[in-house]
Amino acid sequence: MRVRAIRGAVQLEQDSAAEMNSAVGELLLEMLAQNQIEVKDLISVVLTATPDLKSEFPAVAARKIGLGSVPLLCAVEVDVTGALPRVVRVLMHSHLDRDLEQIKHVYLRGASVLRKDLAQ
């Protein structure tokens, strides 16, 4: 079985705990579904948030959808002038026996503009 990394991002409408949980939960579930990944196959998940998101940790949303047993790490994204605001990015590591070209990276809501070359 190979180790693969799956990218994803979502833009929140506002900085609130409810929006963080909703948006990040939606993103993570979509990443799992599109890549047919089960929780038992996850190795770790790294979540970053732009500096303007301060109301909740993205990892809280991951725990709420059942990823509490998976190692999770939150960090602040680099504060680049002109960057898209209110974005959570995800780097998910999983045991996944697929070629790199078969990995489906997921960019939701306004974050779809970040990587048009990868967004599904």
| Domain membership flag for residue 86 | yes
- For residue 13, the 8-state DSSP code is S
At residue 101, does pLDDT exceed 80? yes
Q: How many CB atoms lie within 10 A of CB 53?
A: 24
| Domain membership flag for residue 18 | yes
| Domain membership flag for residue 19 | yes
- Give residue 116's pLDDT band: very low, low, confident or very high (50, 70, 90): low
User: pLDDT digit string (tens) for 14-39?
Assistant: 999 999 999 999 999 999 999 999 99
Domain count, the chain: 1
Q: Annotate 56-89 with DSSP letters as a single string.
A: S-HHHHHHHTT-TTS-EEEEEPP--TTPPSSEEE
| Domain membership flag for residue 38 | yes
At residue 120, does pLDDT exceed 50? no
| Domain membership flag for residue 119 | no
| Domain membership flag for residue 118 | no
Residues annotated catalytic, as ranges: 7, 63, 74, 77, 89, 107, 115
Closest CA to 89 of 27, 41, 42: 27
User: Structural domain of residue 56, as residue ranges?
Assistant: 3-113
- Give residue 115's pLDDT band: very low, low, confident or very high (50, 70, 90): low
Please state whether beta strands 106-108 and 87-95 pair in parallel, antiparallel, or not at all (unpaired): unpaired
* C-alpha span between 81 and 52 (Å, rounded): 12
